[in-house]
C-alpha cells in the first residue's frame, strides 16, 4: 500500500517543535545517524527532544492518559501550561521520515478551570493532526481533526497514505478518532457494515510507533546499587533505559548467540580505560548483582579482581547504561543520551566519540545532548581520520535570544572534520580560560620577583 522506498526510509530524519517551553518559533532539527545537540545550560537542548519523549511515555502508559501523559518517567510536569512558551495555549510536535511526516498540535488548559466541561477535557487536547509526504517530486499535506470525513477529506487521506492520487479500494475511511496522542482513521471494509478504528494504516505508512523505538538514557542515572531488579528484556524499553542495564547484560550472558555483545561491551570499557570486564551474578529470582574489574586491564588471576560496581568509581556506573543501550538498540531504533560524558576522564570522553560513531554507522540513530568539547573534538578527529563520512554527523547549537527564545544553529562537518563558526564554541571557552590563567600567572610571577 505504501510506496516502496530505500531500506533506511523508516529512519527518523527530522524533529519539528514550536511553542514548547523555550522554543517560541518553529524549529526543525535535522537528524543524522549521529546527531549532537550542544549549548549552554538552559539554552533549550532538552526541549528539542522532550516532545518526542512525551509521545513515547503516552504510548507506553498502561492506561489511556489522554492526548499526552505529562507526568511520566521520561518527562515530568505538574501543570500542562509549564510545557508552553510564555504560558501559551498551543504547541506542536512533529517528526519526519524520508518521504513522510506527521505534525500534532496540542492545546493546553491554562490556569484554573471555570466549569465542569473544562475539567472533563483534561490538561491537554489534541487539536489536529497534519500528514505530509514527498515522493517523485510530488509533495502534499493534509490536516485532519477528530470527527467524520467528507469526500474531499477522504481523497486527501488516500493521498497521504499512497503518496499520490488514488483511492483505498477495499477500505472506506469514515473519520478520525483519538487514540492516545494520535488521531487514527475509522474505516468500513466493504465486507462489513460498521466502521472501526484502523490504526494500522498510519502505523504502516507513517511509523506512528516510532517514539516507542527510543531508548532514553537520562542525564541523571542514579547512584550505583548493590543489587539491581530483574526486568523483562525485549526489543523495546519503556521508561528510561538505566533500569534495564543489568538485566540486558544478564540476557547476553545467558545466550550463546548474544555473548559477542558482552565481549564487545568489555572491549569498549577497556577502550575507555575504565575496566577490563563486566559480569553479572544472580542474587535470587528478582535481583542480580553487577561486578566489574578494579583494573583497566586484565592480569593473571584477574577473576578474583571483580568487585561490586558500587565499589568502583562513578565513571563505570554512569557510562554503562550508555554503552549497553547502544548495543541493545536495533538498526532503525533511536538512542537518546543526555550528557554521555558524565564522570568520564577527558581521554575517555574523546574515545567515547568513536563508539557513538561506530553504532551510528551500523544503523542505530544516536542523539547525544552534551556539554563536552572533548566529545565534539573526538568526533571531528574521527571524521578527519576517515573513520566515518562527514554526512554521518549533524551538529546543532542552542542559544537564547534577548526574549529568552531558543535559537538553533546547525552545521555539517566537512571532510577535514571542520564545522565553521558557531554562536559560541567550547574551544573558545577553554582558550579564554587558559589565556586568563597564563596572564594571571605571569602577573603573579612578576610580583614575586620585584
- Rounded CA-CA distance 33/51 in Å is 20
For the sheet with 34-39, list strands across it: 214-217, 334-338, 365-370, 34-39, 393-400, 406-411
Confidence of residue 170 (pLDDT cuts 50, 70, 90): low
Confidence of residue 166 (pLDDT cuts 50, 70, 90): low
Residue 430 lies in a domain: yes
Confidence of residue 3 (pLDDT cuts 50, 70, 90): very low
> Model-level pTM?
0.91
Average pLDDT over residues 83-110: 93
| Residue in 409, 356, 376 with CA at minimum distance from that of residue 44 | 409
Residue 445 has pLDDT above 90, yes or no: no
How many domains would you assign to the chain?
1
Confidence of residue 111 (pLDDT cuts 50, 70, 90): low
Q: How does DSSP assign 244-282, residue by residue? A: GHHHHHHHHHH-TTTHHHHHHHHHHHHHTTS-S-EEEEE
Residue 284 lies in a domain: no
Contact 185, 176 (CB under 8 A): yes
Confidence of residue 76 (pLDDT cuts 50, 70, 90): very high
The pLDDT value recorded for residue 158 is 86
Q: Which three cell numbers stand for residue 274?
A: 575504565
| Residue in 376, 384, 359, 379 with CA at minimum distance from that of residue 429 | 376
The pLDDT value recorded for residue 284 is 94
Pick the range with the lowest mean pLDDT from 191-195, 255-259, 394-398, 427-431: 191-195
Q: Where are the alpha helices (DSSP H) in 336-398?
A: 346-361, 373-384
| Residue in 176, 146, 198, 133 with CA at minimum distance from that of residue 2 | 133
Residue 439 lies in a domain: yes
Query: In angstroms, how far is CA 245 from the centroid of its own chain?
Result: 17
Domain of residue 450: give its range. Answer: 420-450
Residue 282 has pLDDT above 60, yes or no: yes
- Rounded CA-CA distance 357/34 in Å is 7
pLDDT digits (tens, 9 = 90+) for 381-412: 999 999 999 999 999 999 999 999 999 999 88
Residue 92 has pLDDT above 60, yes or no: yes
The pLDDT value recorded for residue 51 is 96
Higher pLDDT, 408 or 188: 408
Residue 272 has pLDDT above 70, yes or no: yes
- Beta-carbon neighbour count of residue 20 at 10 Å? 24
Task: Return the percentage of the chain with pLDDT > 70, whole number.
Answer: 87
- Rounded CA-CA distance 213/11 in Å is 10
Average pLDDT over residues 240-258: 95
Residue 311 lies in a domain: no
Confidence of residue 441 (pLDDT cuts 50, 70, 90): confident
Contact 378, 370 (CB under 8 A): no
Average pLDDT over residues 174-179: 92
Higher pLDDT, 114 or 56: 56
Residue 427 lies in a domain: yes
Average pLDDT, the chain: 88
Confidence of residue 194 (pLDDT cuts 50, 70, 90): low
Terminal Cα-to-Cα distance of the chain (whole angstroms): 85
Residue 240 has pLDDT above 90, yes or no: yes
The pLDDT value recorded for residue 303 is 59
Pick the range with the lowest mean pLDDT from 186-190, 213-217, 256-260, 353-357: 186-190
pLDDT digits (tens, 9 = 90+) for 114-157: 444 444 456 899 999 999 998 777 889 999 999 999 988 888 88
Amino acid at each position: 500500500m505504501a510506496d516502496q522506498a530505500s531500506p533506511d526510509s523508516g529512519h527518523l530524519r527530522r524533529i519539528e517543535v514550536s511553542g514548547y517551553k523555550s522554543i517560541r518559533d518553529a524549529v526543525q532539527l535535522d537528524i543524522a545517524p549521529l546527531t549532537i545537540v550542544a549549548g549552554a545550560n538552559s539554552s533549550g537542548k532538552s526541549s528539542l527532544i522532550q516532545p518526542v519523549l512525551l509521545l513515547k511515555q503516552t504510548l507506553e502508559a498502561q492506561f489511556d492518559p489522554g492526548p499526552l501523559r505529562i507526568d511520566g518517567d521520561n518527562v515530568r510536569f505538574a501543570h500542562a501550561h509549564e510545557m508552553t512558551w510564555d504560558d501559551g495555549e498551543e504547541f506542536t510536535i512533529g517528526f519526519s521520515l524520508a518521504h513522510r511526516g506527521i505534525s500534532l498540535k496540542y492545546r493546553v488548559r491554562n490556569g484554573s478551570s471555570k466549569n465542569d466541561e473544562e475539567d472533563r477535557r483534561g490538561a491537554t487536547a489534541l487539536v489536529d493532526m497534519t500528514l505530509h509526504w514527498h515522493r517523485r517530486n510530488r509533495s502534499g499535506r493534509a490536516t485532519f481533526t477528530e470527527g467524520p470525513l467528507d469526500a474531499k477529506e477522504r481523497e486527501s487521506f488516500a493521498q497521504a497514505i499512497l503518496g499520490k492520487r488514488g483511492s483505498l479500494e477495499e477500505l472506506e475511511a469514515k473519520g478520525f478518532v483519538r487514540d492516545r496522542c494520535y488521531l487514527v482513521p475509522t474505516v468500513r471494509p466493504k465486507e462489513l457494515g460498521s466502521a472501526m478504528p484502523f490504526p494500522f494504516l498510519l502505523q504502516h505508512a507513517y511509523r506512528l510507533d516510532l517514539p516507542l523505538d527510543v531508548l532514553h538514557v537520562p542525564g541523571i542515572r542514579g547512584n550505583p546499587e548493590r543489587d539491581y531488579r530483574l526486568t523483562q528484556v525485549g526489543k523495546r524499553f519503556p521508561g528510561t533505559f538505566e533500569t534495564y542495564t543489568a538485566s540486558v547484560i544478564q540476557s547476553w550472558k545467558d545466550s550463546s548467540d548474544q555473548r559477542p555483545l558482552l565481549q564487545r561491551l568489555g572491549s569498549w570499557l577497556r577502550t575507555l580505560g575504565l575496566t577490563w570486564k563486566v559480569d553479572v551474578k544472580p542474587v535470587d529470582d528478582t535481583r542480580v548483582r553487577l561486578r566489574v574489574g578494579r583494573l583497566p586491564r586484565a592480569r593473571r588471576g584477574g577473576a578474583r579482581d571483580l568487585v561490586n560496581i558500587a565499589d568502583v568509581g562513578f565513571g563505570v556506573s554512569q557510562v554503562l547504561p550508555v554503552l549497553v543501550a547502544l548495543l541493545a538498540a536495533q538498526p532503525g531504533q533511536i538512542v537518546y543520551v543526555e550528557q554521555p560524558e558524565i564522570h568520564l576522564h577527558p581521554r575517555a570522553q574523546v574515545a567515547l566519540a568513536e563508539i557513538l560513531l561506530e553504532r551510528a554507522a551500523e544503523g542505530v540513530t544516536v542523539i547525544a545532548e552534551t556539554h563536552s568539547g572533548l566529545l565534539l573534538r573526538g568526533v571531528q578527529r574521527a571524521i578527519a581520520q576517515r573513520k566515518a563520512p562527514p554526512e554521518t554527523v549533524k551538529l546543532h547549537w542552542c542559544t537564547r535570544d534577548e526574549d529568552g527564545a531558543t535559537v538553533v544553529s546547525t552545521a555539517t562537518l566537512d571532510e577535514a572534520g571542520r564545522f565553521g563558526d558557531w554562536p559560541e564554541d567550547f574551544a573558545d571557552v577553554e582558550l579564554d580560560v587558559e589565556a586568563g590563567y597564563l596572564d594571571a600567572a605571569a602577573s603573579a610571577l612578576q610580583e614575586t620577583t620585584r
